[in-house]
Amino acid sequence: VEFLYCDLASMKSIRQFVQQFRAKNCPLHVLVNNAGVMLVPERKTEDGFEEHFGLNYLGHFLLTNLLLDTLKQSGTHSHNARIITVSSATHYVGKLHLDDLQSRCSYSPHGAYAQSKLALVLFTYRLQHLLTANGSHVTANVVDPGVVNTELYKHVFWVVKLVKWMTAWLFFKTPEEGASTSIYAAVSPEMEGVGACYLYNEERTKSADVTYDEELQRRLWTESCKMVGISDESSRVP
């Protein structure tokens, strides 16, 4: 195991990480996008993005796009490279505000978190569409890990923390259990060559209806490219 530092809340850090990784000339067969914050108070990343949207979504959007060439070179017809992005069941109640992705008009920790997780699902489906259109041997899937007993809940109300402390052993998954569906998506022979799936408990399930809106997927992708400063090559793909 070799560690390379990457702060998903910093576009500069992401670009430096990708540069360091590419310098190693290593193949990239599996990319798991799993960084995140939840219900944090209103604050911004060093690039000026609302933290949920900037870290949970835009950080992964930029990282994945910068690594796409390496992923495409690493995948083969019989062994596709795989991109796994971790979302949440919270995306079902999320709303994407394309005119206010930074939640500047009215900030809600719950709304901002749900929007970031919804964006990850839309991103995954659009990404798979582009990969398929280009004939790339890369698949992209999105995972719901379930309710997992981690430090992600440190910003919830103290009452919720108390309930979590009392019931975690009964209702919450362990981190190992929470990782199982991501691992399944990354290595299972059943997922070879299969993309654009929403996975929960190692099974394909239906995501929110709005996530299948291809026009919304396209518009989010285009806006995301502008925000992170990369070219929107997808504009040439229907």
Question: Coil, strand, or helix at residue 94?
Answer: coil
Q: Please give the DSSP secondary-structure letter assigned to residue 41.
A: P
Torsion angle of the four alpha carbons 210, 156, 52, 150, in this order, in degrees rounded to the nearest 10: -90
- Six token digits for residue 175: 């981190």
Respond yes or no: is residue 5 known to be catalytic. Answer: no
CA distance 6 to 12: 9
Position 137, amino acid: H
Q: Are 108 and 86 in contact (CB under 8 A)?
A: no
Beta-bridged to residue 205, according to DSSP, are 198
φ/ψ of 59, rounded to 5, equals -60, -45
Catalytic residue among 113, 125, 153, 184: 113
- Six token digits for residue 2: 């070799």
CA distance 40 to 90: 15
Q: Are 140 and 131 in contact (CB under 8 A)?
A: yes
Catalytically active residues, by annotation? 113
